[in-house]
Chain A
Amino acid sequence: MFGYQNKVLRIDLTKKATTMEPLNMDWAEKYIGAKGLAIKYLYEELKPGIDPLSPDNKLILMNGPLTGTPVPCSGKLAIAAKSPATGTILDCSIGGHAALKIKYAGYDAVIFEGKLSEPGYVLIQDGKIEFKDASWLWGKGSHEAEALLVDKYGHEASVLSIGPAGENLVTMSCINSDYYRQAGRGGIGAVMGSKNVKAIVVIGTGGVKVPNIVEVTAKLSEILREDTVSEDNMFIYDCGTTAFLEACNDGGILPKRNFSDTTDEEWTKYNGEVLLGNKVGKRGCGSCGLGCGNFLKIGDAICEGPEYESIAVAGPNAGITDPEAIVKANQVADDMGLDTISAGDTIIFAMEMTEKGIHDFGIRFGNKEKYIEYLKLMARREGVGADLALGVKKLSEKYGGQDFAMHVKGLEYPQYEPRGSWGMSLAYAVSDRGACHMRAYAPNEEVFAASIPPYTPEGKGEMVYNLAIYNAVKFSLVICDFWPLSIERMAEVMTMITGKEWTVDELNAVAARVIHLARAFNQREGFNRKDDTMPKRLVNEALKSGPAAGQKIPQEAFEDMLDQYYDVLGWSRDGIVPESILCTL
């Protein structure tokens, strides 16, 4: 197939040795690239039961056949490993330009194994790989580290870096690039930190070949105009993800005060209009057509963002309404190399614990100065940060408050209230890496499109399955979440770029394989139905405000949704992938 470089760069950090090998094309035909193919490599190469923070874990950077071509919104890089936060499979998706640079350097994937003996960074310049000393960078924020490396290598170089959080193996640490883009969740930054890798610098001057390139380029320009940068999608360019703030507030799923309620009457203090009033620039990723990045400056705070998640978790969910504080929280989290969702959820959990008198973490709802200070303490494991760095699951096991510890499998809850969108409780429960909104985006159907009633378990198994299938294949091509292209369009661009005929059926088959394989990885680690959970808060406490006032999710309704989902996939009622499917993967 065209599009691929047919080359994997394997880096043994322990020996400081590199090898090049062909991409496993049998696997590529079954899993395509990015998410799916990274999971396949990890499934085959990792032994079950390894410690994710040991040198046995592997950090895989994987692009797809479309990367580096003008397929709109194709500039995303999958970064995958076994998750330090959950022990499950973990794949993240980072924008910026790193995906393209790696492809142009000549690689479909870069696999990091082992561990450097001293803090270092890896420099990849096309075919030349060097291991460099990072003692002069270690301890610095991600932003300063990136700035110094860009000074040294030029801004044509892509820099992937960790902040102090990743260095200190905080299981909420992320990997940054282009200052403000992240591979965010599950502690992926801690995997990089555990390997003593402060940064990866990539310079790529090669290219990607496809058949009939001139016709393909013309056709892609057309698709870009008609289907990507269409009127329906322009809200992404105009507002970015701040658009979700209004939609979620109106829809009754914007969480408030650690998911104790929804709907914030004061949201006009920090809504999209206010935030975007401080916009000084626009940016997108490589090969993007849309351009969701809003570069904001407000008072002392600078950030490309904040995204919906980061606004909600540092805003209404923390009882904070000051837009400058919200942007500052994002900037500090990025610089420290912390996932805004998990770090924010941990801080707001600590707020509730303090308010309820269960344990005094010294912070209450609304305390914006401490919110920002606590991010820095968590990244460095200092003071109260040493405890907070544990994350919501371990913190609640240590101090109590488990009923309102909002996580699944140890990955903290994204900012969509499931009592207003019942299918989301299922989506969070069955997502391959813990509570994640990027596997099955239930609010699209239950709230925004209102295509299915939100406050019932009926039909949710199939709904979540269909949403999960769509994302599983999309993130394996890879194409960014923000282009809502049809699966027919996916087949069309895959055929154009690879030169092999791809059909909708084949893409759906890839999607199912990816979902089964991720589950298989987890079940090999001991996960089953008992780990597909919903926090007791959603069962015991009814929402008080907004369109979903009065709603809570009965445990039987949740169990029913789980049953439905497992049935659709052909898994046992215990959530186990049967041997008859395992042998096809």
Chain B
Amino acid sequence: MAVKRLKFSKENCIGCQLCAQACSAVHEGEFIPSKARLSIESYYTSEGELKYKDSFCILCGMCKRKCPFGAISLDDKLSLDPDLCTGCGVCAEVCPKKVIKIREEKAVLCDTCNGDPSCVKICPHNALRFE
């Protein structure tokens, strides 16, 4: 069976950021979007366009491949071994979706909530799916 990944359809996104609130609730114990493991926004530009920022984990595995310490593993989800992670920041640099952050000298990444992503569960119009 193919690995499930997060998928985003911008046509369905209303920019409510409930996804980031749910993610941070589950991972940080607080509604704090700045610490969520995804960042999806919609915004208007001065040229009269509606644009989307869609920073979410696509399980590409670049972080695992480039980690100099083998701290990241990937099967049907990403896992971080905090004992091996030095907070060097290579994973954050190579992440194509700019999901990974370094906080207090450790990488912070998306673990797709162990196969039951909170962001997907709360998205009101199925802009985020896990399939």
A323 beta carbon closer than 8 Å to chain B: no
1/0 per residue, CB under 8 A from B, across A97-131: the answer is: 10010001000000000000000000000000000
Tell me how far the C-beta of A74 lies from the nearest C-beta in chain B, rounded to whole angstroms.
Answer: 10
Tell me how far the C-beta of B30 lies from the nearest C-beta in chain A, rounded to whole angstroms.
Answer: 4
Residues of A within 8 A of B34 (CB): 104, 205-207
1/0 per residue, CB under 8 A from A, across B32-46: the answer is: 111100000111111
A155 beta carbon closer than 8 Å to chain B: yes
B65 beta carbon closer than 8 Å to chain A: no
Q: Which of B14, B31, B42, B118 contacts A68 (CB 8 A)?
A: B31
Are the CB atoms of A221 and B22 closer together than 8 Å? yes
Residues of B within 8 A of A247 (CB): none
Quick one: closest B residue to A218, CB to CB?
A: B121
**If A237-B125, A282-B14, A289-B18 touch, does A210 touch B48 (CB 8 Å cutoff)?**
no
A251 beta carbon closer than 8 Å to chain B: no
Residues of A within 8 A of B17 (CB): 97, 100, 286-287
Are the CB atoms of A209 and B29 closer together than 8 Å? yes
A179 beta carbon closer than 8 Å to chain B: yes
Residues 36-85 (chain B) with a chain A CB within 8 angstroms: 41-46, 48, 50, 53
Q: Which of A180, A213, A217, A295 contacts B122 (CB 8 A)?
A: A217
Residues of A within 8 A of B112 (CB): none
Are the CB atoms of A224 and B124 closer together than 8 Å? yes
Q: How far, in angstroms, from A72 to B45 measured CA to CA in the complex? A: 26
Residues of B within 8 A of A225 (CB): 124
Are the CB atoms of A155 and B22 closer together than 8 Å? no
Tell me how far the C-beta of A281 lies from the nearest C-beta in chain B, rounded to whole angstroms.
Answer: 4
Tell me how far the C-beta of A482 lies from the nearest C-beta in chain B, rounded to whole angstroms.
Answer: 12
Q: How far, in angstroms, from A365 to B22 measured CA to CA in the complex? A: 51
Q: Which of A143, A155, A209, A286 contacts B30 (CB 8 A)?
A: A209
Residues of A within 8 A of B31 (CB): 68-70, 207-210, 213
Residues of B within 8 A of A221 (CB): 22, 118, 121-122
A403 beta carbon closer than 8 Å to chain B: no
Q: How far, in angstroms, from A291 to B14 measured CA to CA in the complex? A: 6
Tell me how far the C-beta of B15 lies from the nearest C-beta in chain A, rounded to whole angstroms.
Answer: 5
Q: How far, in angstroms, from A180 to B33 measured CA to CA in the complex? A: 23
**How many residues of B are in contact with the other chain, CB < 8 A?**
35
Q: Which of A207, A285, A289 contacts B124 (CB 8 A)?
A: A289
**If A217-B118, A284-B14 touch, does A147 touch B30 (CB 8 Å cutoff)?**
no
Are the CB atoms of B50 and A224 closer together than 8 Å? no
Main secondary structure of the interface of B (DSSP, over half): mixed
Tell me how far the C-beta of A102 lies from the nearest C-beta in chain B, rounded to whole angstroms.
Answer: 14
A64 beta carbon closer than 8 Å to chain B: no
Tell me how far the C-beta of B102 lies from the nearest C-beta in chain A, rounded to whole angstroms.
Answer: 16
Q: How far, in angstroms, from A75 to B124 measured CA to CA in the complex? A: 15
A228 beta carbon closer than 8 Å to chain B: yes
Q: Which of A97, A217, A290 contacts B26 (CB 8 A)?
A: A217
Are the CB atoms of B125 and A104 closer together than 8 Å? no
A144 beta carbon closer than 8 Å to chain B: yes
1/0 per residue, CB under 8 A from B, across A560-581: the answer is: 0000000000000000000000
Are the CB atoms of A207 and B28 closer together than 8 Å? yes
Residues of A within 8 A of B48 (CB): 297, 302
Are the CB atoms of A217 and B14 closer together than 8 Å? no
Are the CB atoms of A283 and B30 closer together than 8 Å? no
Quick one: closest B residue to A144, CB to CB?
A: B46
Residues of B within 8 A of A209 (CB): 29-31
Q: How far, in angstroms, from A220 to B53 measured CA to CA in the complex? A: 25
Q: How far, in angstroms, from A216 to B30 measured CA to CA in the complex? A: 11
Tell me how far the C-beta of A327 lies from the nearest C-beta in chain B, rounded to whole angstroms.
Answer: 12
Q: How far, in angstroms, from A151 to B47 measured CA to CA in the complex? A: 12
Q: Which of A100, A214, A283 contacts B14 (CB 8 A)?
A: A283
Tell me how far the C-beta of A214 lies from the nearest C-beta in chain B, rounded to whole angstroms.
Answer: 6
Q: Which of A147, A210, A287, A290 contacts B45 (CB 8 A)?
A: A147
CB-based closest 5 A-B pairs: A207-B32, A291-B14, A147-B46, A284-B14, A281-B50
Known contacts A70-B25, A104-B33, A147-B45, then 14 further A-B pairs from the complex at CB < 8 Å, ordered by chain A residue: A68-B31, A69-B31, A75-B16, A155-B43, A178-B43, A208-B30, A217-B21, A217-B22, A281-B42, A282-B11, A283-B42, A287-B17, A290-B124, A304-B44
Q: List 13 A-B contacts (CB under 8 A).
A: A70-B25, A75-B16, A147-B45, A147-B46, A155-B41, A207-B31, A208-B30, A217-B122, A218-B121, A224-B18, A225-B124, A237-B125, A291-B14
